A and B are shown apart, each in its own frame.
Chain A
């Protein structure tokens, strides 16, 4: 999968996205992602995913969320390069990243907090 294919999947499934460049890194920001389970069920948050033009796209072992969803330092969280309003959640995704599977993974990460 390429990052463009993932972004196409996001827009085709009704997600609003925008891009953000920080330093030399490009991120795709998925706006107002609904959290359906866990301690934040019913809320929304923004999710940032590091872009890469390399083929195949290998995801960063992390998702970035805004606002912070856990106490900093807990649940494998740390400061994000995107800024102080963002939080870096260190998470592993080892499957072949199809667009559908990767979106489901993001929702699972949010639902497990």
Chain B
């Protein structure tokens, strides 16, 4: 695999290219670029690279909008040299430069000869030498869909275009524009007829092409894997370092006694299961036997469009919480708390499900994660029996990880519905806020569409795409 650094074509061979922006930035671009049926417009922006295992993503960071006299508007549009000079002078450290413009038709936009000259010849060498990163070009269609390409140096004074496969806009909704050649829609199989009858072909096509990571293939994760592949998703990344044990058999879908004897990896069990039960004609599930705090686990998570968080340990949940904002990979998270009296009688059971990322509150602001627990987990204290013995009853309850299969089924179901809501924008499927279910008396509380608190240290990381997430 290529190293994905710099702007040389040789360093980005066989890499999946992508672009991401916040929903807020997308709306700002719509306000600036959508000038009606007869006028295109343009702007420059800055971006930062996000490097996964197989995907290189430009995370749009902020705009540098044109001022009066910065561009010529004559139906089509061109930028003046002074505008480019200003954009290069004001470029933040470690940022690339993107040129974004609008076209007057819908869908994934191709390029005119003028577009190619502007990006390849006017910008290619100048931007690459100034920023150390390739030129990025994006075109917005009248329906708000984006196309995108990178210009890599292939030789002396030569820059070659490489199309991105996707452009995702991440806000209340995850909206992905797909390159019709690199990521064409699959024909919808007859096995999806009932599904489509509920949320329609368009939502199903979007959902099927979303690359979803499942972090944690235990009770909830194994159910989600089975459900997503039956729902027609084409690409799953399965991430878990753990091996199956006998105590997991009461709630891990697809696991058998023989797997315990052979100490099979949970990702291997999940892959075996989804390879048999998927309904898509273009299905691929990739297994990563690593923790998300490990190099392989983290880079494979960075390849995903959305992540289903099915781990209960605080440290990996912290990392996924950061990725949701800094790298614009939204997270659908769930958790179960079953409290039991000292005499063994059940006290109560709650479970909660929430979507995390830009325009949603983070795990800390939802009170779904505590920083001190992250510190304890990172230090290995949560695996230290002596430390756990010294905790008070309430703290031990939180780390007790009590669970039964039926609780996991419910959490998995609601996580999937929130994912469908996130991708389709259909609140009638996904609901409209964080959900907390109380098993007794059997009520679902729905929170407000909350955002992070003003002093939150996670939300300010939005679109920074920083790499030092783990020590």
Contacts and interface: CB of A to CB of B under 8 A. Distances in A.
A94 B468 contact: no
A47 to B, nearest CB: 16
Interface stretch (B118-126, B214-222, B370-378, B432-440): B370-378
Interface stretch (B146-154, B260-268, B302-310, B450-458): B450-458
- Report which residue of A1, A52, A56, A94 has the largest number of chain B beta carbons within 10 angstroms of its beta carbon: A56
Interface in B365-399: 370-376, 378-379, 381, 390
Contacts of B241: none
B340 interface: no
Nearest to B369: A94
Interface stretch (A11-19, A28-36, A37-45, A57-65): A57-65
Contacts of A8: none
A1 B461 CA distance: 10
A97 B457 contact: yes
A96 B370 contact: no
Contacts of A60: 375, 378-379
A61 B375 contact: yes
Contact of A55 (B371, B381, B390, B468): B468
A96 B378 contact: no
B42 to A, nearest CB: 33
B372 A55 contact: no
B404 to A, nearest CB: 29
Nearest to A59: B375
A32 B458 CA distance: 32
B415 to A, nearest CB: 25
Contacts of B378: 58, 60
A21 interface: no
Chain A contact residues: helix, strand, loop or mixed = loop
Contacts of B375: 58-62
- Report which residue of B375, B376, B471 has the largest number of chain A beta carbons within 10 angstroms of its beta carbon: B375
Contact of A61 (B379, B453, B461, B469): B379
A93 B364 CA distance: 12
Interface string A71-112: 000001000000000000000111111100000000000000
Given A54-B469, A61-B381, A94 B372 contact: yes
A96 B460 CA distance: 12
Interface of A: 1, 52-56, 58-62, 76, 92-98
Interface of B: 318, 322, 364, 370-376, 378-379, 381, 390, 453, 455-458, 461, 466, 468-471
20 contacts: A53-B471, A54-B469, A56-B322, A56-B458, A56-B461, A58-B371, A58-B374, A59-B371, A60-B375, A60-B379, A61-B375, A62-B375, A92-B372, A93-B372, A94-B372, A96-B455, A96-B456, A96-B457, A97-B371, A97-B457
